[in-house]
Structure 1
Amino acid sequence: MCGFLTEFSFNNHAVTDSTVFEQLLQLSQHRGPDNTTINTQQNYRLGFNRLAILDLSAQGNQPKFSPSQRYHVVFNGEIYNYKALKDQYQLTNLNSSSDTEVLIHLLDILGVEDTLKALNGMFAMVIMDTVSQTLYLARDFAGIKPLFYGVSKNGVVAASQFNQIFKHPWFQNSLALKPEVVKAYFGFGYMQSPHTIFKQIFQVNPGEYIKIDNKQQITTVKFQEFFQGIKPNISFDIANTETVLKEAVSRQLVSDVPLASFLSGGIDSPLITAMAKTQKADLEAFTLSVNDDQLDEGKQAEIYAKALGIKQEIHKVNEGDLLEEVNNHFKYLGEPFGDYSSIPTYVITKKAKQRHTVMLSGDGGDELFFGYPRMLDVVKNRRWFNIPFYIRKPLIRVANKLKLNNTWGPFHYKTIGEWVMGKHRYIFKEDLNTFFKDVTFSKDMEALYGFEWVRSKKGLLGRLRYNEFYGHLQRVLIKVDRMSMANSLEVRVPFLDKAVLAEVHDKLPVTYNSKADLKKLLKDLMLNYYTIDSINHHKKGFAVPMYDWLHNQLKSDVETMVFKKTFYGSDVINVEAVKAYVKKFYNKEHDAAWGIWHIYAWQKWAQAEDLI
């Protein structure tokens, strides 16, 4: 796990001043504090901050040339099947025991695309083909690791962090906001790839590589995609899924530095921890506990730890501990981001780093195994959308009044896609439209919520999983990556192992009609490791009392950031409408704490990056 910054110039344009490049690279030093190396060639430069995980010697440092000297590489992440690939291709004369060493040998043997298709891991990489003078930017199939890039008349800049690009001399004086992406941020709280809020800067999509040659030709290639165009009709196979998941956990236990597992009171991380414990007897678990019984998972996690016979470290925090980190955590985001569970995530990863460098997590379980109640809500009420909207509305009103029904989604939304979007949007459509007049979402955002072609229950389930995987999960992964790497901690996600995704991508639950069906396969797997009495089916999550904070401890700062500071983006945002929305919150005319946080976080990001 690391951070990198790269430049590739067009038309013999000079790369930037070395001092400026070093300063920009230093912005991601928290991602890799163990070694910094910069390699400058005639028309490109690669800079790398290393967090040493495999082969802690200098031989594991980057950038690295392939043996033929054709490919020059920087790579952030882990390749979990590197040992299998080493054996498969009978690689010898390796100078390092790291996964990067296997990668550079494979590039010489297979070329770029076939190498990417062979990898199982989490990665963002820049590959310079010195023979064809072509730059490749590649990102893992789940989008676990970030990869930003900008294209200017001078050349291309690619980096692990958004701020390393918009502060680069090739871009900083010509930045232009993209209104449809700014609007999406205010609604959803993150920048959906391939876009960013700036017109000149982009993200590589999950499972995609970008090819850029010295004639400024840009080609985008999708080398891996899951859940798209699939019409699932096969039931989950519990035995096979368990085998595949255990093998994924095994691959992700490989480390030359201390490794442990996060352990919550829910289903996902306890299952991963249990599987890891069967393969690593000395595995330790780490749990965050809060002094609020409504939110605390410490006691349930302790029950799990005792059942496994595992050493557990429980870190207790109070509300003050979390509030202390609000300002600090904004420094490490590098981009506008509005999920306030980033605060406890920052706190728990900061504490975990005191004794460990690698952690296993349970992220991805809800998306793959249908764990969100919002998915069930849509499925149960899907038939309402077969009725014309003008007829449907009075029928729902009567049905709800007679307690024959208990949903208002089909009453308020014309289509399933609009309803699903509404479930993920934290500021109402009507309010967003006052903030951004005559601005629509990007075609990519609209496509993510396209459900018009779905007709069957199975088709709807498949599309909902696609939406969660390429939508909400990306927001979760941004949070975990930015906050863990703020503390130089690598977090691995076995549920997003390539083999696990391949196993489940065309499979569905046998039944999906009630809350008991949420993540039923994972609940059944839990019985192989825990007694039925010890299993908790109701995860509380890393919640914080944000509504109360906004009305009390954070109120003064929110009012300062919104009403007194220059409001960033006023050229595309109706600032007076935003201010009116915030005033209504404090007058208790609405209770949309998430929406207020998105606005506040936008301003705090701009302040942290010296944009206001």
Structure 2
Amino acid sequence: MCGFLGEYTFKNILSNTNEFSDLLALSKHRGPDATKIEECEENYRLGFNRLALLDLSPAGEQPKKSPSKRFHLVFNGEIYNYKELIKEYGLEGLRSTADTEVLLHLFDAIGIIDTLKALNGMFAIAVIDTISNTLYLSRDFAGIKPLFYGKNENGIVFASQFDQIFKHEWFCHNLILRPEIVREYFAFGYMQAPNTVFQSIFQVNPGECLQIDSNGNFETSIIAHFKKEVAVQANFRLETLQKKIEKAVTIQLNSDRSLAAFLSGGIDSTLVTSYAKKNKENLEGFTLEVTDKKLNESDYAKAYANHLNLKHKIVAVDKDALIDIVDEHFKSFSEPFGDYSSIPTYMVTKKAVKFHTAMLSGDGGDELFWGYPRMFDVLKKAWWFKMPFFLRKNIVRITNKLGLSNTYAPFHKSLESFWLHKHIKLPEALLNEVFSTPFSNEMLNLYQMGKGSNKKRLQHFLRWNEFYGHMQRVLVKVDRTSMKNSLEVRVPFLDKHVIDYAWTLHQSIDTLTQLKQPLKKLVQQEIPEQLLMQEKKGFSIPIESWFKNELKEDLLNVVINKRIFGIDTEKEHLLKKYVHNFINAEHNNGWGVWHIYAWQKWAIQSDLI
């Protein structure tokens, strides 16, 4: 895991060298082991901060050129199938044992696009083709690793962090907010690729490669996309899924530095940890224990670790410790980000890095195997949307009044609208008052199901949407908090072959207990059923209480006593009133208030206000 920064100029004029170095230093936490800058041909510059996991020698450092010297690379991530690619393509003369070396040899052998399609891993890659004078920017198919870029008349700046773009001298003097993306942040709490809140600054989409020539022309290649439409069902077998997950875990154990596994007590991390233990006898499980017994899952994790004969490290934290790191944890995010579960994630990665450099995680299981109760709620209530809007909203008024139902689903004009609003944390009426622009086309398309609404199509759409929507927010949280602590987190469920096979699964979800059924069956083969947690508690922050007590003074200071960044002066009072109403117990939407609070914290630490 690493951090990089690069410039590709259309005018053969690069930025100030010292300023470039200062910007590269913003991502030093992503790669504290080595820093290197290379400037070439007057039209591009590459900078790299390395966190060494494979081949710890200087031979594994970047930027690096291919054997032919044609391709110049910076690469953040891990290529898990690099040993297989060496054999498949008969690669010889490798000068290091790092996966970076394999990338460069493959570029020479089969070209950039075919190489990218052959990869299985998590990655953000920037490559300069020095012969055609072309820049390639590519991101892994699940969006695990970040890749931002800015474009203007000077050229392209690309980086691992958002602030390395908007603070760059080509952009910092002309930052213009995109109101539709600001609206999306306040609604969803993150920036959905390919957009950011600033004009001219973007994110590479998961599974895509951008090709940019010296005239500023863009061409997009699809490396891997998972389709919104229902796939043709293969002969799905649980045994096959098991083998694919086990293989993904096994190849992700490869590291020249200490590696362990997060063990939360939930199904996903327990399954990953149990498979990892079979291949790494001295594996350690890592669990965060909280003093609030209602939230603490460590007792389950202890029981699982004992059954697996697993070395187990438990780190205890109390409420005060979590509150004390709130400000510190915001420094993880160079972009606006509004999910307060980032606090415990930051804490557990901060603790884990004292013992290990890489960790396995269970992220991705909920999205691939229908793990969220909101999915079942939509499937259960989809029948309402077969009626005309005027009819169902009148019927539900009567049924609600008679106590025969308790739902607001029929008041949405479409099933897609009902689903979209399950992910929005601020009231639509408030968003409409503050912002005159709708969501971007990209966000609306993400929530557009398409033709037909049979159960199988709907169920697949819900999973597709979670994968390219909500999961992207989860991955931002995990990447930014872990890398702030110089810790690599690997996610076996997001192995390309696991995703491919999961995509062929269709199952009936007629009850809540059927959510994530394949993974439940697999974990029951590893852990006795009587030991398994019957209902996952999750690790939830009591944000409503914190805002009314420990964080109240800071909330008032950064929201009420300051201008709200980027919001029209005639409209900002609406957001401040919403916060006041929360403090006065007129509503209990702490998550929505957190979106406002986190926006201000980002703007303040970015020197934007």
1:458 maps to which residue?
456
TM-align CA RMSD: 1.3
1:74 maps to which residue?
74
1:391 aligned counterpart, secondary structure: helix
8 Å Cα contact 1:117-1:223 kept in structure 2: yes
Aligned-pair distance for 1:574? 2.1
2:241 maps to which residue?
241
2:123 aligned counterpart, secondary structure: strand
CA-to-partner distance for each residue in 1:386-435, whole Å, 9 max, x for gaps? 0112111232234345554443322x311111111110000011111111
1:360 maps to which residue?
360
Q: 1:315 to 1:235 in 2, by over 3 A?
A: farther
Structure-2 separation of matches of 1:569 and 1:84:
49
Aligned-pair distance for 1:579? 1.1
2:537 maps to which residue?
540
Q: AA paired with 1:515?
A: L
1:180 maps to which residue?
180
1:445 maps to which residue?
443
Aligned-pair distance for 1:219? 1.5
2:33 maps to which residue?
34
Paired positions, count? 608
Residues 313-352 of structure 1 mapped to structure 2, 5 A cutoff: 313-352=313-352
2:522 maps to which residue?
525
1:286 maps to which residue?
286
2:276 aligned counterpart, secondary structure: helix
Structure-1 separation of matches of 2:596 and 2:501:
40
8 Å Cα contact 2:138-2:210 kept in structure 1: yes
1:133 maps to which residue?
133
2:308 maps to which residue?
308
1:73 aligned counterpart, secondary structure: strand
Aligned-pair distance for 1:605? 0.4
CA-to-partner distance for each residue in 1:117-145, whole Å, 9 max, x for gaps? 00000000100000000000000000000
8 Å Cα contact 2:229-2:457 kept in structure 1: no
Structure-1 separation of matches of 2:157 and 2:126:
10
Q: AA paired with 1:486?
A: K
Structure-1 separation of matches of 2:332 and 2:455:
42
Deviation larger for 218-227 or 490-499: 218-227
CA-to-partner distance for each residue in 1:71-121, whole Å, 9 max, x for gaps? 000000000000000011111111000000000000001111100000000
2:105 maps to which residue?
105
- Could you list the runs of 5+ residues in structure 1 that have no partner in the other structure? none
CA-to-partner distance for each residue in 1:258-315, whole Å, 9 max, x for gaps? 0000001111000000011111111100001101111111111111111101011111
2:279 aligned counterpart, secondary structure: coil
2:495 maps to which residue?
497
Structure-2 separation of matches of 1:454 and 1:31:
45
CA-to-partner distance for each residue in 1:2-25, whole Å, 9 max, x for gaps? 00000001132x111110000000
1:252 maps to which residue?
252
8 Å Cα contact 1:53-1:256 kept in structure 2: yes
8 Å Cα contact 2:286-2:313 kept in structure 1: yes
Aligned-pair distance for 1:229? 2.5
- Could you list the runs of 5+ residues in structure 2 that have no partner in the other structure? none
8 Å Cα contact 2:230-2:456 kept in structure 1: no
Structure-1 separation of matches of 2:388 and 2:457:
21
8 Å Cα contact 2:231-2:503 kept in structure 1: no
1:553 maps to which residue?
550
8 Å Cα contact 1:400-1:406 kept in structure 2: yes
Aligned-pair distance for 1:232? 5.5
1:62 aligned counterpart, secondary structure: coil
Q: Does residue 428 in structure 1 map to residue 427 in structure 2? A: yes
1:381 aligned counterpart, secondary structure: helix
Aligned-pair distance for 1:367? 0.3
Q: AA paired with 1:96?
A: S
Q: AA paired with 2:14?
A: V
Q: AA paired with 2:155?
A: G
Q: AA paired with 1:150?
A: G
Aligned-pair distance for 1:604? 0.3
What TM-score do the two structures reach when normalised by structure 1?
Answer: 0.98
Aligned-pair distance for 1:168? 0.1
